[in-house]
A and B are shown apart, each in its own frame.
Chain A
Amino acid sequence: MNWKMSRVVRTVTDIMVVPIIVYGIYLIIHGHLTPGGGFQGGAVIASSTALLIVSYGSFRDYKKDFSSMESLGLTLFILLAIFGILLGATMFHNFGAGTGGLFGGTVPEGINPGYVNTGGTIPMMNIMVGLEVAAALSLILWMMAKASDSMEVEA
């Protein structure tokens, strides 16, 4: 069945999808400073998929891509957790904090506005969780839309 919505709905969707995704990425990357984190940002990104599927009524065959993205996020998360054991510490050991590398800046003492380039492995794990949640919820939406025959799968 063709569930394509009107031109007004599709134009508003086209305008709104990119800000929603950017807001989700902002929530994920600033997860260690502000409210939000991997799960919230991933859910916000997946809501853009819901908007696209509902308004257009068709979506490409991204099932395997979503599944691979979900597995990649979870695998990298677990590897990042186990990497702490390999360095001689416990699981989930924060080996990146204060080393000067990626997300390795030192936090100055006292009240500060919050710096993104700090936190060690916590922002990295937020990014992995965001990848996993966004792909998993998008996959659930894709499967539900396909099973209820409210979406045409493009080639």
Chain B
Amino acid sequence: MIYFILQLLVLTGLVITAVAVIWFKDLISAAIALGASSLILSLQFYLLRAPDVAIAEAAVGAALTTAIFIFAIRASEREEGYK
């Protein structure tokens, strides 16, 4: 029962953060939301008994791609918008 509730919470958080990524107009907020989504996805991998994949997802998805996205946003405009 606890396992079921935990998995429901994780999936809800995954959907919320994934919607937040496309909902934010500020690109740095979207990058942070993508990192949070990746972290929750790694928690889901751990719950599904794949700790190996969970470590790789947490390191690559939450840390490295977020840093690379932030570097790329710094080189361009921060706000998304059509002028």
On whether the beta carbons of A144 and B52 are closer than 8 Å, the reply is: no
Q: Does B10 contact A (CB under 8 A)?
A: no
Known contacts A43-B64, A50-B64, A141-B68; decide if A27 and B74 are in contact (CB<8 Å): no
* Contact for B74 among A35, A40, A44, A150, CB less than 8 A: A150
On whether the beta carbons of B56 and A43 are closer than 8 Å, the reply is: yes
Closest to A24 in B: B59
* Contact for A3 among B55, B67, B74, CB less than 8 A: B74
Number of interface residues of B (CB under 8 A): 16
On whether the beta carbons of B71 and A44 are closer than 8 Å, the reply is: no
Closest to B50 in A: A35
Query: A3 to nearest B CB, angstroms?
Result: 7
* Bound CA span A145–B72, Å: 8
On whether the beta carbons of A36 and B55 are closer than 8 Å, the reply is: yes
Residues of A within 8 A of B55 (CB): 27, 35-36, 40, 44
On whether the beta carbons of A53 and B67 are closer than 8 Å, the reply is: yes
Q: Does A11 contact B (CB under 8 A)?
A: no
Closest to B69 in A: A144
**What are 20 A-B contacts defined by CB distance under 8 Å?**
A27-B55, A35-B55, A36-B55, A37-B52, A39-B56, A40-B55, A40-B56, A43-B60, A47-B63, A47-B64, A54-B67, A54-B70, A141-B64, A141-B68, A144-B72, A148-B71, A148-B75, A150-B70, A150-B71, A150-B75
Q: Which residues of A contact B (CB under 8 A)?
A: 1, 3, 27, 35-37, 39-40, 43-44, 46-47, 50-51, 53-54, 137, 140-141, 144-145, 147-150
